[in-house]
Structure 1
């Protein structure tokens, strides 16, 4: 057994087939098959059910896969965990919800880059539930997400900010009663596949507010643009870091105690990238304290 074989095993799970895994790890399809048979013979277990057209993991194979991920992650972290720079160089894979990608994430990333020139943060946008899955599979080192209702015991959650939900409308929309505006204008819905979408839907239902949906979108930028075009109103998180050159939209409080989304960092409890995770968390908190993404906050001292 070798780390190379374990990487191949993981590639099969991540890419779905032996052929796709072969491309991912730069070997032939035959080499992938040989490596997997060698593992099964060495361990005297059946990792794959080959009765199906595409070999599938057996229950035992899935258990081995999870252990393989832990072993490969630990192997990759051996040097960073013991050398003097504490891993503050190389690549760090960070997932982030799209709503954070125009203010908080770029500002925090710029702060990290200014402080640690040898540390490269690779960003992967996605919805919270997808990013959680990626962290659990060790495909991401951490992810900035909206807090879900349930968090796996294998993951660690660090709260960073609470963002209240607000009603956004074009300048042509009159009045300050959010509920009345929602009942009388077309509604541009935040995708219910997102945690934020669930928060919004729950608030609407709990307040018996019926809206007329005109579209359901996942991007805060696209929602804001549709609202700017006077195609409807929407409910979105009021960002903890205001993005640069935002659209001139009206922000109207939903109520005295609006629903909020909790924004935080999620990571595996078994991660050995403790030092770099600490610095990523500090940069996010510093960016939240600044609260504005602009040319001054990027270039100024931190």
Structure 2
């Protein structure tokens, strides 16, 4: 059985269409359709069917989907272990949150390319919740993400790379020096409460009996920072930006204690055949210091 046919089948089911699978596999839709037909001819039954505008597995396809994923994973592991060097062959499939992609990941990748120029790294961006699930399912070898609000199982390893306190982000030049007064008096941009730090921020406000008028709610710290800069509101966020990288049009305000922190780190399955690659990556990922103290005008810092 040609594993490329299995890969096409899994991609079609996961993405819901032949066209989307073709884009993911860098093939034409016709080529993907031919692979599916060849696989169905080999097993003697239909594996997918159309349901409106999407494609879904048939009853037979649903039965074999998990096994198909396992087979593809085993082939991937086999290819990795068949290496002439101490490290497994690549690629290293790595997930990363948008803030990690823009910040800490870049210098690590620069060091990786210098030390391991022949080992490819495939990067999948996504929110922490999605990346966690994809690490646990074996799709990703590792991911840089925010530590969940629960204890991770013993089947995975975790290494903290950076700790970030919550701060209040505002446009520069506000007359207020009391962060709570700012939150009460200005429109508020809420960090999505479905993500870890967004829930932390919401809990912090409630604990301090702050119920701001939310103008917007969204995920994406950089997007929120742009909106704050444009004067659309203020926001409580993790202190994701080093002082020398923060736009001078923005001001960080220290929040009264106790202030929650989020941990950004690397998560991976211990049973991964490419764990040595993950650890080689980790060796290059020097843990960064916690977000720098915020100080100026009693409670804020123009950075």
TM-score, normalised to structure 2, is: 0.78
Q: Does 1:177 align with 2:181?
A: no
Separation (CA, whole Å) in 2 of partners of 1:62 and 1:145? 31
Please say if residues 103 and 244 of structure 1, whose CA atoms lie closer than 8 Å, have aligned partners that are also in contact. no
- Residues 6 and 51 (structure 1 numbering): CA distance in 2 closer, same or farther, change over 3 Å? closer
Between 15-24 and 193-202, the greater mean CA deviation after superposition: 15-24
SS of match in other structure, 2:102: coil
Please say if residues 88 and 118 of structure 1, whose CA atoms lie closer than 8 Å, have aligned partners that are also in contact. no
Q: May I ask how many residue pairs the two structures share in their alignment?
A: 285
Q: CA deviation at 1:166?
A: 0.9
Deviations 1:218-239 (A, max 9, x none): 3322322332334322111113
Partner of 2:267: 266
Partner of 2:227: 226
Runs of 4+ with >6 A deviation: none
Partner of 2:208: 207
- Residues 216 and 75 (structure 1 numbering): CA distance in 2 closer, same or farther, change over 3 Å? same
Q: Does 1:103 align with 2:103?
A: yes
Residue segments in structure 1 that go unaligned for 5+ positions in a row: 293-302
Separation (CA, whole Å) in 1 of partners of 2:113 and 2:258? 37
SS of match in other structure, 2:132: helix
Separation (CA, whole Å) in 2 of partners of 1:2 and 1:101? 35
Q: CA deviation at 1:278?
A: 0.4
Please say if residues 102 and 243 of structure 1, whose CA atoms lie closer than 8 Å, have aligned partners that are also in contact. no
Q: How do 1:14-53 residues align onto structure 2 when only pairs under 5 Å count?
A: 14-18=14-18, 20-21=20-21, 24=25, 27-39=31-43, 41=44, 48=47
Partner of 1:168: 169
Deviations 1:231-279 (A, max 9, x none): 322111113x728642123222222221111222223444211111002
The two structures, once aligned, show a CA RMSD in angstroms of: 3.3
- Residues 48 and 93 (structure 1 numbering): CA distance in 2 closer, same or farther, change over 3 Å? same
Q: CA deviation at 1:64?
A: 3.4
- Residues 226 and 202 (structure 1 numbering): CA distance in 2 closer, same or farther, change over 3 Å? same
Q: How do 1:233-244 residues align onto structure 2 when only pairs under 5 Å count?
A: 233-239=234-240, 242=242
Q: CA deviation at 1:21?
A: 4.2
Separation (CA, whole Å) in 2 of partners of 1:174 and 1:59? 64
- Residues 105 and 149 (structure 1 numbering): CA distance in 2 closer, same or farther, change over 3 Å? same
Q: CA deviation at 1:131?
A: 2.0
Separation (CA, whole Å) in 1 of partners of 2:152 and 2:84? 32
Residue segments in structure 2 that go unaligned for 5+ positions in a row: 293-303
TM-score, normalised to structure 1, is: 0.78
- Residues 217 and 35 (structure 1 numbering): CA distance in 2 closer, same or farther, change over 3 Å? same
Q: Does 1:114 align with 2:118?
A: no
Partner of 1:254: 255
Partner of 2:130: 130
Q: CA deviation at 1:182?
A: 1.0
- Residues 19 and 222 (structure 1 numbering): CA distance in 2 closer, same or farther, change over 3 Å? closer
Q: CA deviation at 1:209?
A: 0.9
Separation (CA, whole Å) in 2 of partners of 1:262 and 1:220? 15
Please say if residues 107 and 287 of structure 1, whose CA atoms lie closer than 8 Å, have aligned partners that are also in contact. no
Please say if residues 88 and 116 of structure 1, whose CA atoms lie closer than 8 Å, have aligned partners that are also in contact. no
Separation (CA, whole Å) in 2 of partners of 1:57 and 1:153? 31
Separation (CA, whole Å) in 2 of partners of 1:56 and 1:186? 44
SS of match in other structure, 2:91: strand
Separation (CA, whole Å) in 2 of partners of 1:50 and 1:228? 49
